[in-house]
A and B are shown apart, each in its own frame.
Chain A
């Protein structure tokens, strides 16, 4: 690889995605071979390879920083490439590529017009660019900018089809997300006032020396961050925008929203809490207890709401609310196993939820029905789709050999290390509830006699390839998690400042 590319790789990933985003409207003018869509897939795949390269480098050589534009910190924006960045970059790449591949099949028909397809591609690439930016940034205001780009892009992506229901859902999402951004910016303001710095490392150093003088201010700032990022990552009880957004959006939008966009905000929260403020201070304040409680509440409440839904996509939406609870529970536990579990769950849930939403989309498209009770017996006509849905369900429940088990195991160990037996109970109950709301879908689709209007045929091959790819990853991460788990552990260790940075 050319030296220029390699030295500037972190920034180039984001820049490449941003530029290709703005080129999309032009490219969609080329009507042959669905050029624009496949170009988008190609760009995201490039970002994935960049992410893997960086991740390998971080695993082998340790973290490093990159000054944007050559301006050194604290004056310039500094990118901090550590195990957290590597982990999240790889997650983004692995999940966004198949989603884009799935979307590329007949995108124009999905959203209704060629120009809207162009905007969809632009927004999708912008969202991926912003998420990559969140992964690598080390500057708190840069986090804000990336969060805003991601928010606007993910809001707009929900209304891709431009029908009234999705626009209404988008407006609700936009309002709530902006309130969230407001809280985040307030929190940033507080930290800036307390420390005068914008670079996360510098903020951390300064706070360690001075926070005893302003405990209340710090406490308030952390609460603002929790609320702000909580709204955006659909933490119960701030999740109210999610079900509507999911049931009205097209499947690729739902998939990337639930699997990646939400996680980006959690990564931002992790960076601010553990790099910006630091584990020592976090442990002294009761913030982790609150996150644990919210997490446990989310797991149970989300699952219970999911049980009550007959619409397939709404059920999956509440499932997301429940699974985000797992991640926050891990953050709340705050030990190495808890954080490793959170990171692994970020990856596992991203893979699994994207898979489930894409499969659900295929099922809804082929049957014309949105409710589970109306989908009896479609498994016979769509065996591959239901097969991968089954793989996704088993992973969500947490059966060994699937990726969901790896994260669940880490979280259980983390809960035991903290002596939090209630968390152990909630984690186990969460799996049972997941089985309760996912297995009936399989049962109806596979073992009940077909309704008079069954599915026409199997989903198109392009979409099947995308889904099978995700399913294969779920299995690979479940059976051979060693490399990924090591990266997750390193990410957790970096956050907790154990070992080499």
Chain B
């Protein structure tokens, strides 16, 4: 336990990130409120940022802004930060799309509960609507 325990403590950012990831995925899958699912997405994606940026951390490093005056500065790895900027953009887009979809769903079904929507959709199918507009 000692060896394993100390390795966990040493790598705490990654452990934390994975735990947060699990929480995020759990939220998306189990909560039926659509907004909570979107929050879950953000939690999940947030955990990945933590993982990447922690991976790029250098102990004693400074922010990766080039300072030509000071030549023996140690910088933190800039690449993960750049990558995660992209990740944040993706996350924002997905969130925006989800929220737009939630608005449409609320207008059509009058609820933001996923189970209720599934029930209403199934009822709609059983009534057997003719699909003549579009295929």
A-to-B contact residues, CB < 8 Å = 109-112, 141, 144-145, 148, 152, 155-156, 159, 161-165, 167-168, 170-171, 174-175, 178-179, 181-182, 185-186, 189, 192-193, 198, 250-251, 361-362, 364-365, 368-370
Q: How far is the CA of A179 from the CA of B25 in the complex (A)?
A: 7
Pick the contact of A164 from B51, B93, B108 — CB < 8 Å? B108
A370 and B105 within 8 A (CB)? no
Kindly list chain A residues whose C-beta atoms are within 8 Å of the C-beta of B131: 364, 368-370
Cβ-closest chain B residue relative to A111 = B134
B residues in contact with A155, CB < 8 Å: 97
From residue A217, how far is it (CB to closest CB) to chain B in Å?
Answer: 10
Pick from B29, B51, B94, B117: contact of A152, CB below 8 A. Answer: B94
With both beta carbons as reference points, the residue of chain B lying nearest to A366 in the complex is identified as B135
Interface size class of B (residues with CB under 8 A): 35 or more
- Main DSSP-derived SS at the B contact region: helix
With CB as the reference atom, state the residue of chain A lying closest to B11: A193
Measured CA separation A155–B94 after assembly (Å): 10
A251 with B83: CB separation less than 8 A: no
**Chain B positions 60-108 with a Cβ under 8 Å from a chain A Cβ:** 79-80, 83, 86-87, 90, 93-94, 97-98, 101-102, 104-105, 108
7 nearest interchain CB pairs? A164-B108, A365-B135, A361-B135, A364-B135, A368-B132, A193-B55, A110-B134
Q: How far is the CA of A362 from the CA of B131 in the complex (A)?
A: 12
CB of A194, distance to nearest CB on chain B (Å): 10
11 A-B pairs in the complex with CB atoms less than 8 angstroms apart: A144-B86, A156-B97, A161-B134, A165-B124, A165-B125, A168-B117, A171-B34, A178-B94, A186-B48, A189-B51, A365-B135
Q: What residue in chain A is nearest B18 (Cβ atoms)?
A: A186
How many whole Å from A415's CB to the nearest CB in chain B?
35
Q: Are B25 and A182 in contact (CB under 8 A)?
A: yes
Task: Give per-residue flags for B42-54: 1 if the beta carbon is below 8 A from chain A beta carbons, else 0.
Answer: 0011001001100
Q: Please measure, in the bound complex, the distance between the C-alpha atom of A165 and the C-alpha atom of B80, giving whole angstroms.
A: 39
A159 and B132 contacting across the interface, CB-CB below 8 Å:
no
In the docked arrangement, what's the CA distance between A175 and B36, Å? 11
What A residues does B130 contact at CB under 8 A?
368-369
Contacting B41 at CB < 8 Å: which of A112, A161, A175, A185? A175
Provide the bound-state CA to CA distance between A159 and B105, in Å. Answer: 11
Kindly identify which residue among A165, A171, A179 contacts B101, using a CB–CB cutoff of 8 Å: A171
In the complex, how many angstroms separate the beta carbon of B134 from the nearest chain A beta carbon?
Answer: 5
Q: A250-B134, A250-B135, A251-B135 are in contact. Are A162 and B25 (CB under 8 A)?
A: no
